[in-house]
Amino acid sequence: MYSKLLAYLSGVFGVTCLATTAAMATEPCTFNPPLTTETQCLTAIVIPGHGLRSFDISFVNEGRGEYYLGDRSNSGIDVIDTSSLKWKRTIGGFVGIVLNASGGVDNNHSGPDGVASHGRWLYGGDGNSTLRVYDLDARPDLAFKQAISTGGTTRVDEMALTTDGLKLVAANNAEDPPFATLFNANGDAKISNVTKIAKIKVDPTIIPTGFGLSLEQPAWDPGTARFYTSIPVIANNPSGCNYGQLAGPITCDGGVLVINPATVTGPADVTLGAFNTSTRTGVIALHSCGPNGATVGPNENILFGCTPQNNPSNVITLVMNAVTLVQTPVQNITGSDEVWFNAGDNRYYTGSNRDCKAPGSPCPSASQQAAVLGVIDAGTNLLIEKVPQSSGSHSVAASSKRNLIFVPQVGTVAAVGTGGDTTTVGSGICGTDQGCVAVFQHKKGNVASK
């Protein structure tokens, strides 16, 4: 009866607010063997409902003291209180997991995917090419406010907001060719009025059509007033490389698309080419990096999560200065999807689910890759350590006020099916085979008062 009522409320209202006491409880991490890293697992938060088989992006809204996870397994965005470290609710209404012909998760059509929040407003990308808008201050049955189509047929993926919350950019990474959409967002308004400004495309000489190339995580840099969006692979970087037009492995590196929202007025589509040093917009070629993740750190530095999934020879993480455009490799860590800068401890955290177990280039085969939480000093751009994670771990976000790092863990294959953890690491962290959101801290004894 409980599960039927839960499903009914989620379908009708788009918001799930029910949980058992046991489901809401947090337990200390049970990681075995004990971690010898500075960054220790503090607690594990189990999400009510289905075990975590598939999830995507994380986000922390410091003003509300909340962490959000795009949880496809439960067709909604999970909300966790960053003070009590307890699950509060799951905001539903998304398409959830869509399966492909072989029974695996079809990432291109599942949702939610990208997640971002400012003030009372929560934005989520769905698998049917829509941006969904929720009012976190509203009564649960009235929280859903808008669904805006980006005009594609696949998911609205990763996204970023300006500091004032008035502009939002989101990537349709699975379209061919991929594109970004710039929106007028709600800022601190009390009524939702999100509108689409324009579709932003990349010149086809840089992202050729027909080869499954994509756009990934954007980040907003207030210092340069630009969005920086990761591009995993671009043509002719270096000249004559293989972006998919030739047989064999990909040999082209990626780039970053720089967008100035002040100059995009719409409604006509905008196409950007190579980086223009006058307007400081367009595509910058990156070296030895095919990035997925992007996050802005101190002094206008942007960290990009390079991954051998995009180019097998990419075995670093990369920091680029948004002003000088100088690129600095971070050695011995790669394979990231989402990355996050935590101003509270001046560290970057990487959701590296394809890190190389052994050094060398190109990165060894998938069996020689491991999932880790990468920890990087943002002052020196040097790797501090790697913390083992479940095999599907690729999402990370941090609370700078409390220096807490949230890392979702998938359930085991036996518990959740294809796409689940193929190791014992996740269950060792969570204390369950159903997956969890693990909470890490590098100074375990210094949790702010609750």
Is 446 a member of any domain?
Answer: no
pTM value surpassing 0.75: yes
Quick one: average pLDDT of 8-16? 42
- CA–CA dist 305, 339 (Å, integer): 6
Is 264 a member of any domain?
Answer: yes
How many angstroms separate the Cα of 117 from the Cα of each of 96, 187, 204, 323, 392?
Answer: 20, 10, 32, 27, 24
Is 450 a member of any domain?
Answer: no
- For the stretch 97-140, pLDDT in tens is 999 999 999 999 999 999 999 999 999 999 999 999 999 999 99
Q: What CATH number is attached to the domain comprising 132?
A: 2.130.10.10
Q: What is the mean pLDDT of the chain?
A: 92
- Residue 306 in contact with residue 317, Cβ under 8 Å? yes
Nearest partner of 113 among 52, 56, 54, 159, judged by Cα: 56
* Segments forming the whole domain that contains residue 57: 2-19+27-441
- Tokens read off for 369: 């890759």
- CA–CA dist 318, 307 (Å, integer): 10
Helices (H), 335-417: 413-416
Q: Any residues with CB less than 8 A from the CB of 340 and at least 6 apart, and which?
A: 58, 295, 348, 349, 396, 397, 398, 405
> Based on the number of CB atoms within 10 Å of its own CB, is 9 exposed (0-12), middle (13-18) or buried (19 or more)?
middle
Is 277 a member of any domain?
Answer: yes
pLDDT of 365 reads 73
Number of domains forming the structure of the chain:
1
Quick one: average pLDDT of 328-342? 97
pLDDT of 368 reads 84
Is 358 a member of any domain?
Answer: yes
* DSSP per-residue codes, 200-248: EEE-TTTS-TTS------EEEETTTTEEEEEES--TTSSTT--SSSSSS
- For the stretch 66-104, pLDDT in tens is 999 999 999 999 999 999 999 999 999 999 999 999 999
| 338 pLDDT tier (thresholds 50, 70, 90) | very high
pLDDT of 22 reads 38
